[in-house]
Amino acid sequence: MWCHCRMVYLPMCYVYGKRFVGRITPIILELRNELFKVPYSEVDWDSARNLCAKEDLYYPHPLIQDILWATLHKFVEPVMMHWPGNKLREKSLNHVMQHVHYEDENTRYICIGPVNKVLNMLACWIEDPNSEAFKLHIPRIYDYLWVAEDGMKMQGYNGSQLWDTAFAVQAIAATDLIEEFAPTLKLAHDFIKNSQVVDDCPGDLSYWYRHISKGAWPFSTADHGWPISDCTAEGLKASLLLSKISPEIVGESVEVNRLYDAVNCLMSWMNENGGFATYELQRSYAWLEAYQPCRDIRRYCD
C-alpha cells in the first residue's frame, strides 16, 4: 500500500493487462541471447516465475504467497482473458490510466521515482503513441540521468535538493560564519521558499488515495511535489532558523501562514500508534506482509 510500491504496480498492471509486446528488433534478440541461459523460445515461464538467485532472496516466499500467485495465474487470469472477464479488465485498465495521468500531472511528469516514471511513460505510449502525455514525459527523463566515471546512471530520485539545502542551512546557522555565507544563505532561503508545496493535489484526495500536501516540503523539488514528513520537518526547521537572521542578509522570511500549513501537515502524519508516516498515514495491516511481493523494494528504499 506504500506509495513507492503501488505507484510501480499501477502502470505495471496496465502494461501486463494490455499484453503489450514491443516490436522485436535485432537489439531485442541480442538482449535475449545475453540475458537468458537457454534459447528464449525454450524458457519455461511457469517455473521461471519463482526462480531467484539465493544471494538476492532476502525474504523467501511464504507458502500462502505461492498458493495465491499460482491461483491467480492458473485460474483467475484465464477468466480475465475472455468475455465477460475481459470487459471488466478493459474497464479496470481505463480506471488505472486515470490514476497514471493524475500522478503524471501532479508531479509535472517526473513521477514519484524512476521506475514508475519509465513505466508511466510506457503506459502513456501504449495508450496513444502520439499523446500529449507521452510527449510531456520525454524531457523529464533527464531529471533522473547523470554521467558518472563509469558511465550513465539513473538516480533513485530526481535529486535530494531540498534535503541537502535544509541541512546546509542548519550547519551554517550553527556557526559564527553567517555573514561570510550570506550569499549562499540567501540563495538557499529562496530555494526553500520556492520548494514548499503551496496547494493540495486537485480533486477528492480520498478518491485518488492521496494525503494532504499543502505546506509540506518534498525531498527534491517543487515539481516533484510528493510531501514527505522528515523533509517537511527539516524544511520547517531551516525556515525558522533563517527567520532569526536579518532579512537584509537572507531575504524575507517564509510567510507565517505557510509555516502553520507545514505544522498542520506534520501533525497529520501521526499514526494511531504515535509514530509518524513517511508520505501517508498507515493504510494496511501487519498480516498483509504475508502477501507482500515487494519487501525487497521496500527494504531498499528504507
262-278 residue pLDDT tens: 999 999 999 999 999 99
Q: Where are the domains of the chain?
A: 3-20+59-154, 161-280
pLDDT category of residue 294 using cuts at 50, 70 and 90: low
CA 6 to chain CA mean position, Å: 9
Instruction: Give, in order, the Cα–Cα distances in Å from 40 to each of 32, 37, 44, 73.
Output: 6, 8, 9, 21
CATH number of 3-20+59-154: 1.50.10.20
pLDDT category of residue 80 using cuts at 50, 70 and 90: very high
DSSP calls for 168-220: HHHHHHTTT-TTTTHHHHHHHHHHHHHHS--SPPSS-TTTTT----TT---SS
Residue 235 sits at φ, ψ, to 5 deg, of -65, -40
CA 202 to chain CA mean position, Å: 18
- Amino acid (1-letter code) at residue 109: Y
Give the integer Cα–Cα distance in Å for 284 and 2: 9
Neighbours of 93 (CB within 10 A): 18
Q: Is 94 helix (H, G, I), strand (E, B) or coil?
A: helix
Q: What is the value of pTM for the model shown?
A: 0.90
Predicted local distance difference test score (pLDDT) of residue 61: 78
The mean pLDDT of 114-142, rounded to a whole number, is: 97
Catalytic-role residue among 104, 230, 296, 302: 230
On the question of pLDDT at 300 being above 50, the answer is no
Predicted local distance difference test score (pLDDT) of residue 290: 75
On the question of pLDDT at 210 being above 80, the answer is yes
168-199 residue pLDDT tens: 999 999 998 999 999 999 999 999 999 999 99
Q: What percent of the chain has pLDDT over 70?
A: 96
The DSSP 8-state label assigned to residue 73 in this structure reads I
Catalytic, 143? Answer no
In terms of Cβ atoms closer than 10 Å to its own Cβ (0-12, 13-18, 19+), residue 224 is buried
On the question of pLDDT at 236 being above 90, the answer is yes
